[in-house]
Structure formats: structure tokens, C-alpha cells
Amino acid sequence: MKETKETLQNEIIDRLKTANKPLRIEDVTNGYTDKAAVNAAISELLLAHSVVLTKKKKLAMPDNVGLVAGKIQAHARGFGFFIPDDGTQDLFVPAEAMHGAMNGDAAWARMTEFVSRNGSPEAEIAYITQRAKKQIVGAYESDGRMGGYIVPDDPHIPMDMIVPIKHAGKARAGDKVVAEILEYPDGRRPMLGRVTEVLGNKNVAGTDVLSIIKQYELPEKFSGNALRMARQIPPEVAADETLTHESLVGKLIFTIDGADAKDLDDAISLEKLKNGNYYLGVHIADVAHYVQEGSALDRDALTRGTSVYLADRVLPMLPVELSNGICSLHPDVERLTLSCFMEVDASGKVLRHRLSETVIRSKYRLVYEDVTRLLQGDETLRERYKELVPVLEELHTLAQALNARRSKRGSIDFDLPEAKITLDDGGHPTQIRQYPHGIANKMIEECMLLANETVAEHMYNLKSPFLYRVHEAPDKEKITDVNAFIQTLGYGIRNVSDLQPRNIQRVLNAVKGTREENIINKVVLRAMQKARYSERCLGHFGLAAPRYCHFTSPIRRYPDLVVHRVIKLMLHGTLTLKEVGRLNERMPGIADACSRHERAAMEAERAVDDLKKCEYMRDHIGDDYEGIISGVANYGFFVELANTVEGLVRANTLHDDYYTFEEKTYRLAGRKNGRVFRLGDAVRVCVTAVHMDARNIDFELSE
């Protein structure tokens, strides 16, 4: 039987892996009659860099000739870092050794004998196996009749893209454009491209945010099939649908959300039992009832992975007919939900629980700020919601118990300021302030955390396929470096060699209310691993929770929707062996996709916030502010203002002395006068410049 190309390639790779050394081509092809087919298979493997050809013209697996697989993390100055797939030490890649590699590219790298200035081993890029980007977004500049060039918005791309006149389309100087990469840079030749979309002039309102949406490749529009499906869903719950759900219509159930929230996917009920325990109900929109796996709606949702909340718009995971309509738990209308009921004692321990498909009718749509003021004694609000006052007070008491229990086991709470950006009708920022996290925010957070843990525990004990939210322990080397800095401020993390969440928690508790609180929170957070999704239950280090998942936001997060589907299969008794096998096969891919989409959404949200902060501060050039040093580098230090805006004081503007960067202690020190600028120091600065394209701000010290 004639072997397929894939079969031949797999056999060739197996031979090389078994040999564990380079082989002559004739040794690899020995035994095959169809030499042309074998040679074609080898050629494709070489083109894909799955195998390599040595200087002696032998075939080898890349790792047999000293190559390491990994990804590129590029820097705006042209150099980069190589992040090995096996988790070993990152390698510094000088600009001349990048050989055209771009940020996010998968590649094979070769260690060199050189060491960077900070002691990191160096490497050079040998082969690029997969390009991360197929297009770029940036500002088009005309170069006369020859065409033009594009200055990329992405700071990780240090070179411009050349656009021949025939590929410029309708782009004009100053336009923001999307361009397809026709030829990648290789270290000698430039990047060439073709304009595929003109977004508008960079100075026109809305073009700036649209550019970021395109840069992070966030889907803007739903497919026609998904929109048609959404419009066909009735806007009200049908009577026959409620027959399959446990009715909670007569219960006192309410939502608490931000004032401008429209996708209300969680509601609460609470009763005090005769035995003194609490009976807490967390009721989550039954999105899985409306979004069937494999449907057009589901495919669009998976492509998005999450809703994206930008300063001037929302890119929802689901069409508004669902996200703001039939799935949103509005008051005084019936809605289908998936509920987690928990009996909780006074210490915050869950004694028993159950999961059920339910139908609710929320009685109140409450706002965080109002509930916080009510619990602080606002008489007008207490009168308006007098039916709810006893329940809210009990909920507050329960939330305090839940928080105390989490704290006792070592759960870490990073209390970092979050920006609230207010825009006018034209999208221009008129105010930036810290977003208040009051009593009500924390109450709801505790209830959601408890439900997420309880659901994860339930499904773990059933040994069911599942999607967990995991957060692994931090890298010991990073924590050791952070600890060295913290000790210069009079604090310290105990037992770094056998790190437990409570060791970090103790430090963060110790700095609460101090000037250093925000800085130490930031530095520690940077040393932590990033939370992600996984089909394996690896625990959540930050929450000190052995099992954790995302269950409470299926309108805006795809992992929660997946979790709901598995729970419903369990409740219906249809989690068969065949279904278990299918889910086990699908979960790793879903976990990886959701983690990637989440990262892209977070980066885009941060980029838009930075953009609007720059736009706001452009109106305040010349103004003075008090701030805290939030980062230190060899070229200067960053200062964060009370409104969360951050800017750079460049070292070359410090005219009183020559300052050297002391990396281990996060500070700049003057050689002559002994003056020091370190993380956490309070300084007064003046806004001197705003760079909209780069999305950064320049400060100078106000003497």
C-alpha cells in the first residue's frame, strides 16, 4: 500500500529520534522504493524546520544539534529574549542575532559563548518555525511615487514596513491602516506589505481605539449565522422551558452590579436557617440553554473567548440579544439560571451544597455604590430598600466570615488601584480616578469565589472532564529577587525555598496602608505566574485553593459556558463514557484558546486605557502632581500618580548628578551627591510631553 506523505514524515522523524544523532540522507531513505515521495517528504520537513541539515549534509532533529525550541519576546530597540518551551532560563538575543524574528514567533535558537551585560546567557535565532503575525496595524506615511511605509503601532516591532505604490491602495499620509505581511524581515531585507484596510485618519476620534482592536486581532462583528440565531431566540422565557427548571420565582433574589453594567449574569439569595447557618444561593445565567455546542453562536463565542471592555465600547462575547437580553438577569422578568446552593456555617465553611437548573425572577437590580452606602448607614437608601436591609446585612456578615476563612488559609488579595476613565460624547477623557472597591464589591466577590470553589470541588470529586482555573506557584528565582528588594524596605518573605501563599500574604498584610503598599503589591504580582485555564486540576496558588474554576460569568467568559455544559450533562445523567472521552479530547484545546484570548483582551484593554490616559494628560502639560516611583530602569524611573496615570522621568533630565542603575535594589543612585531614587519613593513631577503614538508620558522632577 502506498504510504501517505504524513506517514512518511512521521517515519522519518521516528528514525531520527531513535538514532538520537544526525544521519546520512541515504540511511534515512533506506528501505523505501518510492525515492521521489521520500525526498519530497524530507524537503517539506526541512522547509518547516521540523528537521535540519547539518554542515556535513546529514539530517538531524534540531535538538540533536544543540538547538532549543521556544518563542521570541521582542523589544522595541531590536533585541529580544528567547523563552524556551522547556521552561529553562530565558536567553538574551542581541539585535544582530534576531535574524528577522518578530515578537511571538516560534523558533529554534542556538546558545552562543557570549553573556549579556546583566549576566544572562546569549543566543541567536537559527530557524523561525511559525510566524505569530500575518498582519500589522500602524500609521501610513507616503514616500512619493514609490509608495510609502507603515510605522507599526506595536512597540515590539522595531522596523517599519515598506509598502510599494501598487500595494498602498487608498491609504493616505496620516491614515491608520491594516497591512498584510508579504515578506518578513530576515535581518538584511526589510519587511514588505500590502494595505488591506484603511481605518481612518489617526487624528479622527475613534480611529485610535479601532487601531488597537485591529492590532490585537479582536473580532468586531458576529457572523451572519450567529446574528440570525440570536434574533430567532424569543426575548422572554417560554412557559414550557420553565418546566425543566426548579422554580425560584417566589424567592427574594437580587443582583448587585456596576451602575453601567448591562450583562447581569449573577444573582444572589440568602436565608438564615433555624440552626443558625446561612443558605446562600448563587444563581448564574443559563447561557448554555441558548448557546448549543457547535452552533454558529458557539463558534463565534469560542473565537472571542471573552467579552472585551474598552474605555469607549464593549466587544461582547455574545450578541446583545443574549448578553443584554434573554441571558441578562434583569429585575421583574423570568430568567433561566444554573444555581449553586450552599449551606455555610458562621465560620464560612460550606457544610453541604447542591447544583440545580432553576428559573428565577430577580426582584431588585442593585448598584455597588448604593449598597455600600446603605450598609454604611445611608437612611434614604435603607428606607428605599427596607425589605432588603436585613438580607444585605446578613450577606455582609457572611462575606466577612468567608474572607476571614480565605485569609486564614493564606489566600492572597492584591489590592491594586484600577482606573475609572470618564469620556465625553466624543470619546475624549474628562476624568480619570481610582475605581472604588467598596463593601458591596467585596461581598459579591466573596460569594462568587465560594461558588467557583464549590463547583470545582464537586466536579473534581466526580472525576469528570472539566475546565479549571489554575495558578501555579511562582518561580523561586523571581521571588528571591523580589524578596531582596522588599528587605531593603524593612519587610521580607519567609521561607522562599518552600514558598506557601500565606508567606506572601503576610507581607501584603504588613504593608497595608503604608506608602509602599502599591509598589510592593505590584512587584510581587509581577513575580507571580499568570493564571490560566487547564483541563488539569493544578490548584490556585494565589487563592490558596486546591480546586478552582470559573462558573459565575458565562455571558462574558467562554470557560464558564464550558463549565455549565459539563454540569448540565452531569445533572441530566448524560455524562456517558463516550461523552467523557470526547470532552477529554477537546478540553486541552479549549483551555489553550481561552487563555490566549484572555491575554489578548487584557492587553488590548490596557492599551486603550494607556491611550486615554495619554489623551487626558495631553491637556495637562505643565501641571504638577505628587506621585510614587513605580519602576526603575537604567534610562530613568516611572512615576505613578494618584489617578493611576504613569509617566517616565528620564535619567538625562536629572541634571544635578550622574545616576547609575542598581538593578538588585530597584534604584538610581547619584555618584557624587548620594541622592537616591528607589521604588516607593514619593516625588513631585511636572508633565512635560505626551507621545500619543507610543502611548507614553514624560515627566520631569519639580524642584
Domain count, the chain: 6
CATH number at residue 164: 2.40.50.700
Same domain, 140 and 124: no
CA-to-CA separations, 325 to 290, 331, 372, in angstroms, rounded: 12, 12, 27
201 Cα distance to chain centroid = 29
State how far the Cα of 292 lies from the Cα of 327, in Å rounded to an integer.
14
Same domain, 48 and 81: no
| Cβ count within 10 A of residue 571 | 14
CATH number at residue 77: 2.40.50.140
Same domain, 124 and 140: no
pLDDT of residue 2: 54
DSSP character string of 244-263: TSEE-TTS--EEEE-TT---
Same domain, 422 and 494: no
pLDDT of residue 1: 42
Residue 570's φ and ψ, nearest 5 degrees, are -65, -45
pLDDT of residue 665: 81
| Cβ count within 10 A of residue 221 | 9
268 Cα distance to chain centroid = 27
State how far the Cα of 35 lies from the Cα of 16, in Å rounded to an integer.
18
Half-sphere exposure of 160 (CA within 13 A, CB side): 12
Last residue within a domain, chosen from 147, 171, 204: 204
- 534 within a domain of the structure (yes/no): no
Question: Is 525 exposed, middle or buried (CB count within 10 Å of its CB: 0-12, 13-18, 19+)?
Answer: middle
Same domain, 153 and 30: no
Residue whose C-alpha is closest to residue 564's, from 550, 584, 585:
550
Last residue within a domain, chosen from 585, 608, 631: 608
∠ CA 628-414-482 to the nearest 5 degrees? 65
Expressed as residue numbers, the domain containing 581 is 224-469+545-608
Same domain, 632 and 570: no
Which residues in 234-257 are b (16+ Cβ under 10 Å) and which e?
Answer: eeebeeebeeebeebeebebbbbb
Same domain, 385 and 428: yes
Same domain, 443 and 304: yes
Instruction: Find where cell 521556544 sits.
Output: 70
Same domain, 412 and 272: yes
- 615 within a domain of the structure (yes/no): no
Q: What one-letter code names the amino acid at 55?
A: K
- 539 within a domain of the structure (yes/no): no
- 368 within a domain of the structure (yes/no): yes
pLDDT of residue 115: 85
- 443 within a domain of the structure (yes/no): yes
- 253 within a domain of the structure (yes/no): yes
Averaged over successive runs of 10 residues, the pLDDT of the chain (703 residues) comes to 78 92 91 89 90 90 92 92 89 94 95 82 93 95 87 92 95 96 90 97 90 95 97 94 93 96 96 97 98 98 97 96 97 98 98 98 97 97 96 98 96 88 93 92 97 98 97 90 87 89 93 86 90 97 97 98 98 95 97 97 96 96 95 93 96 93 87 90 96 93 87
Q: What one-letter code names the amino acid at 513?
A: G
- 209 within a domain of the structure (yes/no): no
Same domain, 676 and 587: no
Same domain, 403 and 324: yes
State how far the Cα of 412 lies from the Cα of 431, in Å rounded to an integer.
31
- 146 within a domain of the structure (yes/no): yes
SS3 content of the chain, % helix, strand, coil (to 5): 35, 30, 35
The answer to whether the CB of 468 falls within 8 A of the CB of 537 is yes
**What element of type H or E holds 283?**
strand 278-285
Same domain, 236 and 372: yes
Last residue within a domain, chosen from 75, 97, 130: 130
- Strand 91-93 relative to strand 80-84: parallel, antiparallel, unpaired? antiparallel
C-alpha cell at 242: 420553565
Residue 299, helix vs strand vs coil: helix
